[in-house]
Amino acid sequence: MHYLLIYELAPDYLERRGEFRDEHLRLAWDAQQDDGLILGGALNDPADKAVLLFKGDSPAAAEAFAGNDPYVKNGIVKEWSVRPWHTVVGDDPFQAVKPEEETE
């Protein structure tokens, strides 16, 4: 299953992230190697949210990431949530769903 870790960023996220960015990125690259993190990044215009995509049997890896993230620990992330994402199209969907063959 895929899971989205969704961050609600503090209004001063861009100004404050520098102090914690290396530690945050180290955690993210480690999670990409070991804990099912597929993609992650902040949304732009406005920079008010970030989304990280995890793959696994449960949301535990995404939840653990948030619990250890210096952005969360230091209030740069106001709140976070994990949502299951039932992917059906793409290179590696949870469950590929294709259209039925059309009949003439």
Q: Are 90 and 44 in contact (CB under 8 A)?
A: no
- Going along the chain from its start, the domains and CATH numbers come out as 2-85 (3.30.70.1060)
Q: Coil, helix or strand for 93?
A: coil
pLDDT digits (tens, 9 = 90+) for 62-75: 999 999 999 999 99
Confidence of residue 102 (pLDDT cuts 50, 70, 90): low
Q: Which residue has the tokens 């001063």?
A: 12
pLDDT tens digits, one per residue of 84-95: 999 999 988 999
**Digit-coded pLDDT (tens) for 12-45:** 999 999 999 999 999 999 999 998 999 999 999 9
Is pLDDT at 51 greater than 70 in this prediction?
yes
